[in-house]
């Protein structure tokens, strides 16, 4: 049924109810207070119905656009903790956001990631706000992947908010692995990664990526440097520092010459901050 006709029918029904209640209110001598309550109820109900219908209409148009245009990029991603090949299952938090906040209903099209680099186009089959399920229609492996593997180590600061900001921005820029480092003079010797993993998941969905970066447990700077392959043909090790000394400074781009994938990553970071 067209949206316009639905709204007209709802409004006509509401006005009929208002007329009957006005007549009863006049007879009972309670015209003004009853009219205030009635108008508040009418406008609230019509608004909710209209918004819900418009959202569903927009979702259907987006789904049709994706079928016609292979380069379509979804603007709303969900994370499935379990994918069995035919169905995706959302946890309680993702399900509540999907059903209660975004008001998805059975039959709606969802775009789900598994955190390993695959995007699933799904149809919602169970809109349970505590455990939603969706049927897989199509999957795209390596969705949004980049041609490099970037690991970065960073010492958490005393103020935990700064490291959490780093996790968020590093995820958005395409870092694959983040390692909290503990130095000899670090003020924070212990770092729990549970909250950082939640921040990385949120940033992954916000930046429209299918792979969630790995956040390892904290380790010493020495062990982190030693575990990276020293073969220059396989990897490139860089340390960013701000101290003046005998070692001459080298720009990142100059250090990455010969590593095309890494240069692409650095240029992406540069362009991101120059916008």
Q: pLDDT per residue over 99-117, tens digit each? A: 999 899 999 999 999 989 9
By C-alpha distance, which of 137, 55, 61 is closest to 104?
A: 55
Tell me, what's the pLDDT at 201?
93
Taking the complete model, does pTM exceed 0.85, yes or no?
Answer: no
Neighbour count for residue 160 (Cβ, 10 Å): 14
pLDDT at 57 over 70: no
In contact, 87 and 99? CB cutoff 8 Å: no
In contact, 95 and 104? CB cutoff 8 Å: no
Please, which pLDDT band fits residue 263 given cuts at 50, 70 and 90?
very low
By C-alpha distance, which of 176, 184, 175 is closest to 155?
A: 184
Lowest-pLDDT range, 16-25, 66-75, 201-210, 230-239? 66-75
Q: Which CATH number, 2.40.240.20, 3.20.20.70, 3.30.160.100, 3.10.450.50, labels domain 78-141?
A: 2.40.240.20
> Which residues are paired to 133 by β-bridges?
89, 126
Lowest-pLDDT range, 32-41, 93-102, 195-204? 32-41
Rounded Cα distance, 215 and 196, in Å: 8
What is the homologous superfamily of the domain 151-274 according to CATH?
SPOUT methyltransferase, trefoil knot domain (3.40.1280.10)
In contact, 200 and 171? CB cutoff 8 Å: yes
Tell me, what's the pLDDT at 123?
93
In contact, 119 and 143? CB cutoff 8 Å: yes
């Amino acid at each position: 049924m067209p949206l316009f006709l639905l709204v007209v029918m709802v409004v006509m029904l509401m006005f009929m109810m208002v007329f009957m209640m006005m007549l009863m209110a006049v007879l009972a001598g309670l015209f003004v207070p009853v009219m205030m309550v009635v108008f508040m109820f009418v406008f609230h109900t019509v608004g909710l119905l209209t918004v819900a219908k418009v959202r569903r209409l927009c979702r259907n148009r987006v789904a049709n656009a994706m079928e016609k245009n292979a380069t379509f990029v979804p603007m709303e991603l969900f994370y499935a903790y379990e994918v069995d090949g035919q169905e995706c299952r959302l946890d309680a938090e993702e399900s509540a956001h999907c059903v209660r906040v975004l008001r998805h209903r059975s039959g709606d099209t969802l775009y789900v990631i598994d955190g390993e680099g695959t995007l699933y186009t799904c149809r919602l089959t169970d809109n349970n706000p505590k455990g939603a399920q969706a049927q897989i229609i199509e999957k795209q492996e390596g969705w949004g992947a980049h041609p490099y593997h970037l690991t970065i180590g960073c010492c958490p600061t005393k103020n935990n908010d700064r490291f959490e900001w780093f996790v968020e921005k590093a995820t958005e820029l395409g870092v694959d692995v983040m390692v909290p480092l503990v130095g000899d003079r670090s003020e924070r010797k212990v770092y729990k990664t549970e909250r950082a993993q939640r921040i990385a998941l949120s940033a992954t969905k916000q930046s429209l990526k299918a792979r969630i970066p790995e956040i390892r447990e904290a380790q010493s700077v020495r062990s982190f440097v030693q575990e990276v392959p020293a073969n220059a043909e396989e990897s490139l090790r860089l340390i960013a520092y701000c101290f003046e000394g005998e070692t001459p400074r080298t720009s990142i781009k100059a250090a990455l010459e010969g590593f095309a994938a890494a240069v692409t990553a650095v240029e992406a970071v540069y362009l991101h901050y120059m916008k």
